[in-house]
Amino acid sequence: MDPVVVVGNCQATALELALSTNQEFTKRFEFVRFPAVHEIPKTMVPDLHRAVAEAAVVIPQRVDEGYRDGLGLGTETLAGIAGSATVVRWPSVYWAGYFPDLFYLRDDAGQPVVDGPFDYHDRTILEAYGSGIDVSGACRLLEDPERPSDASAWAANATAELDLRGRDCDVQVTSFIASTFREELLFFTMNHPANRLLGVMAQQITELIGVPGAIDLQGLPGEPLGSTFYPLHANHVRALELRFGAELTAAGTPFKIRGVEYAPAQAVGLFFDYYAEHPELVEINFESQAG
């Protein structure tokens, strides 16, 4: 079978799984797999370049040439190494429309703090803690559809930014997101697309490389990128006019953090406990997020 190399962030492995649900694809191709670009050690880059040079199809995610100090993971570097192979460029699919309140906690040097129990923090929860509101009060804020919302602007800006970043890619997703995000959940976090969107991307790739047949999302092992999901805020659901959103608010949906589910009050309590243990981070982030 012909070798295929998919290069990208955590979305790359999920995309491989989606491509594998097309039986015609699996009959013709086999993956030569590598870690996500942020995890590839410098010593492995020559192996990646060799695999790309020998591949029949190379599927690189859009990566700047200067990424990781120009280590050799840039899209155009890999496309050049691929030679006569078929190259299908795809975007880093980042869309914050559902999640205006999610952010990375940062230290005093401005670096993201991701070594704690949470990858993401929620602006409403942090502001509630910093304002002296208790856990129950914070949960009521998450469930209140009457609070002001800037989600519509976030969604429009997120779509425009993704469209700009993906203009030189072969795979295009912004029109699908813009037409579909109100009808069904397309993202679990800003950079973790749901199977529905992965399937659209994988289908485009198979068509671009001339493989017949369809992607079968039923063949995926659950949601590969669904290990973290924070309930949608009721005010954002209302502002975005989400057809499905009422089912995914904190009124009845658990938090899912690194694969573990927590009732909303339990999750908010964990955030509050973390902030009590790290007052310096609260001080650094509270005003910047509130502003």
226-278 pLDDT, tens digit each = 999 999 999 999 999 999 988 899 999 999 999 999 999 999 999 999 999 99
**Beta-strand (E) ranges in 115-165?**
121-122
Residues 48 and 63: beta-carbon distance below 8 Å: no
**pLDDT score of 229:** 97
- pLDDT tens-digit series, residues 162-202: 999 999 999 999 999 999 999 999 999 999 999 999 999 99
Q: How confident is the model at residue 117 (pLDDT cuts 50, 70, 90)?
A: confident
Residues 220 and 195: beta-carbon distance below 8 Å: yes
Residues 192 and 228: beta-carbon distance below 8 Å: yes
- pLDDT tens-digit series, residues 72-93: 999 999 999 998 999 999 999 9
Q: What share of the chain has pLDDT > 90, as a percent?
A: 92
Query: How many Å apart are CA 262 and CA 60, to the nearest integer?
Result: 36
Residues 266 and 259: beta-carbon distance below 8 Å: no
Query: How many Å apart are CA 234 and CA 225, to the nearest integer?
Result: 23
Q: Is the pLDDT of residue 287 over 90?
A: no
Query: How many Å apart are CA 206 and CA 212, to the nearest integer?
Result: 7
Q: Is the pLDDT of residue 97 over 70?
A: yes
Q: Is the pLDDT of residue 215 over 70?
A: yes
**pLDDT score of 221:** 86
Query: How many Å apart are CA 65 and CA 213, to the nearest integer?
Result: 34
Q: Is the pLDDT of residue 290 over 80?
A: no
Residues 190 and 95: beta-carbon distance below 8 Å: yes
- pLDDT tens-digit series, residues 51-69: 999 999 999 999 999 999 9
